[in-house]
Structure 1
Amino acid sequence: MGKSNLDLVCECDNFPYYEDDRASYTANLTNYHTFKVTGYDATLGYILNSVVEKFPWSPNCWAIDSTARTVTLVAPANADPALRSKLVAESIAEAVRQDKFEVLRGWRNEKYPVYGPGGEFLLDMERCASPLFGIVSYGAHMTCYVEDAQGLKIWVPRRARNKQTYPGLLDNTVAGGMCTDEKPFECIIREAMEEASLPEAAVRAATVSRGCVTYSHVRDARAGGETGLIQPEVEYVFDLKLDSQTIPTPGDNEVEEFKLLSIPEVQEALARGEFKPNCANIMIDFFIRHGYLTPENEPDFLEIVARLHRRLEYPTASHCAR
């Protein structure tokens, strides 16, 4: 028997819920240290204890409290985001120099932002280091589809088999992480050109914003590198209806191929566990929005919808373009 839709959602949103089992949730947190920044009373992420033990923390800018299980970036009271980012970057560079963590071997040269209360931008850090600190990351995913006499079909890519993360699994048509100062729509435009060779003008003209999906994921071996790292994420969701002449093609080395699959074919691939976990979530969200999953045909409908929109326990940011 294959995986149910709820199985897939729970596989992605797999960090425990306090409301489900308070004792278990509290016990689970003993495996982590809380990531904080001086001057801000907020949990910015959870760092696995084994990471805390191995990381080359500089005593000049980090305070480790083993009793309270906190790791605090210590910066001057007048520190700005640039200074905080510099301190973090120096520490990460030392971890790279000492080859402390496998995840840091997948250097992306992209910066992910860290936000404090009220969405204040506090600092940014190298993308591949973000799971070590357990910070909230942001991304944009788009489902491209066509409709013909046979019904709706979805363009589904297969990830390159030499990728560090989730090699060979199925993905959403276009997807990518949002770097510091990047807005969701501009991210999806960039990724559509880079990953799927889709013309910018067509994407700008027809792409429709469809909300977001949120979850808190604990990484397993498929993610590449250390396991047990917490990766809370916000994924902005977009749809793009294509004509039959517009065919996504790999534009970089991250995608092996694109295939046009019917809804039953996508559902079967989901049940076989062929999709990257968060991409399965995005696909299930697409099925709900387009009426393929309904309260009448899905017994776990309410639980699925709730789990696709987890309220994260960290400060988050608005990406409203002002």
Structure 2
Amino acid sequence: MKSNLDLVNETDNFPYYEDNPEKYTKLRSSYWELHLRGGSGPRGYMPQYVFEKFFEMPWVAAWDMDFGRKTLTPGPGCQEDIIRQELEQAREKGVFEVLKTGWRNELYPIYGHNDPSEKTISMERAGSALFGINSYGVHMTVYLNTTEGMKIWVPRRTKNKQTYGGYLDNTVAGGLCTGEQPFECMIRECAEEASLPEHLVRSNAKPCGTVSYIHIRDERAGGETGLVQPECQHVYDMEVGADVIPKPCDNEVEDFYLLTVKQVQEALAEGQFKPNCALVLLDFFVRHGILKGENEPDYIEIVSRLHRKMPFPTS
């Protein structure tokens, strides 16, 4: 059985320098940094073996590579086009499983620092983990208060879903594309995944902050392992009445279950939830006074770890 801190460690599993400088330095040295021309600081971390697979292909454009510092920067031309062309070529050649099976034709943003000269550029969603860029999403917990106490609507992902098939999830969740506002993304996902009408969501969904972490992917995520996935999730709550029943609308959700808080906690301890969804639920429990210092010995560590400071520019 997993403790709440185990759930945090499983998701926010990129080491902290302060905790273990030797482990952090060794791992960091195994990744290449994605940089952008005219920018300052890294935008993502690419594993050595991913770099080597890209390097084995004929590059479609010039890249500036510093083998001493292990930095990778798009060369002259449109940086967005250079990255897109490399990913398209890798997909055509079947180099990476995440591109073969996960191509979405959706764009994720790569933000610059707070400098007007640094334009936001975009990257195909399926390639974001190869380059290790910071990605964004929305997660909402839909719940109701009953005479038996609080209950939470929990979906199960379809078993054939590429990532975390068969795992439990947050009521509604999805990736935030370039130019999309978090709340509008949430409304879209509510309709697509749970058949929740727009007027209901606009009237009742409440923004509750963010959850952030840096995750190193394992085989459950599908495709290549060891990919760095820094993520920031915009978190929402929505209290509903007994007449509101989420229903699957696309092929991503198998079914919805109305679970008590105790049942959700048991499923978390059994590892039934997608890892990052576990963090969103822990944040929900903190916010609603279910998880607190009196009943959780690792309370301070858990609360602080739900909001990791990112090493890359954020929106």
Pairwise TM-score range, normalised by the shorter structure: over 0.9
Deviations 1:276-317 (A, max 9, x none): 000000000000000000011100000000110000111111
2:10 matched to 1:11? Answer: yes
Corresponding residue for 2:64? 63
Query: 1:194-233 alignment to 2 at 5 Å?
Result: 194-233=192-231
After superposing the two structures, state which structure 1 stretch, 25-34 or 274-283, moved more. 25-34
- Per-residue deviation at 1:60? 3.1
- Per-residue deviation at 1:211? 0.5
- Per-residue deviation at 1:65? 2.3
One-letter amino acid of the counterpart of residue 309, structure 1: H
- Per-residue deviation at 1:66? 2.1
Alpha-carbon distance in 1 for matches of 2:248, 2:119 = 34
* SS at 2:41 equivalent: strand
Deviations 1:31-84 (A, max 9, x none): 1101111111211000000000001362733122222211111234xxxxxx32
Give the conservation status (yes or no) of the 8 Å contact 1:12–1:216: yes
One-letter amino acid of the counterpart of residue 24, structure 1: K
* SS at 2:40 equivalent: strand
Corresponding residue for 2:123? 125
Cα 1:268–1:98, aligned 2, differ >3 Å: closer, same or farther? same
Corresponding residue for 1:153? 151
1:264 equivalent among 252, 262, 265: 262
2:295 matched to 1:300? Answer: no
1:94 equivalent among 77, 89, 97: 89
One-letter amino acid of the counterpart of residue 110, structure 1: E
Query: 1:141-290 alignment to 2 at 5 Å?
Result: 141-290=139-288
Alpha-carbon distance in 2 for matches of 1:183, 1:114 = 15
Corresponding residue for 2:105? 109
Q: Which runs of 4+ in 1 moved over 6 A?
A: none
Give the conservation status (yes or no) of the 8 Å contact 1:36–1:44: yes
2:80 matched to 1:85? Answer: yes
Deviations 1:244-268 (A, max 9, x none): 0110000100000000000000000
Query: 1:133-144 alignment to 2 at 5 Å?
Result: 133-144=131-142
Alpha-carbon distance in 1 for matches of 2:190, 2:221 = 23
Deviations 1:87-128 (A, max 9, x none): 211111100111100000211111000011117443101101
Corresponding residue for 1:29? 28
One-letter amino acid of the counterpart of residue 193, structure 2: E
Determine what percentage of the aligned residue pairs are the same residue.
53
Give the conservation status (yes or no) of the 8 Å contact 1:57–1:91: no
For normalisation by structure 2, the TM-score amounts to: 0.96
Corresponding residue for 1:39? 38
* SS at 1:258 equivalent: strand
Alpha-carbon distance in 1 for matches of 2:240, 2:272 = 24
Q: Alignment RMSD, CA only?
A: 1.1
Give the conservation status (yes or no) of the 8 Å contact 2:60–2:82: no
Give the conservation status (yes or no) of the 8 Å contact 1:140–1:184: yes
Corresponding residue for 1:315? 313
One-letter amino acid of the counterpart of residue 61, structure 2: N
List runs of 5+ in structure 2 lacking aligned partners.
Answer: none
Alpha-carbon distance in 1 for matches of 2:123, 2:32 = 18
Cα 1:167–1:206, aligned 2, differ >3 Å: closer, same or farther? same
Give the conservation status (yes or no) of the 8 Å contact 1:15–1:217: yes
Alpha-carbon distance in 2 for matches of 1:122, 1:47 = 20
After superposing the two structures, state which structure 1 stretch, 256-265 or 56-65, moved more. 56-65
Instruction: Work out the number of aligned pairs and report it.
Output: 310
Give the conservation status (yes or no) of the 8 Å contact 1:146–1:244: yes
Alpha-carbon distance in 1 for matches of 2:155, 2:68 = 46
Alpha-carbon distance in 2 for matches of 1:269, 1:113 = 33
* SS at 1:42 equivalent: coil
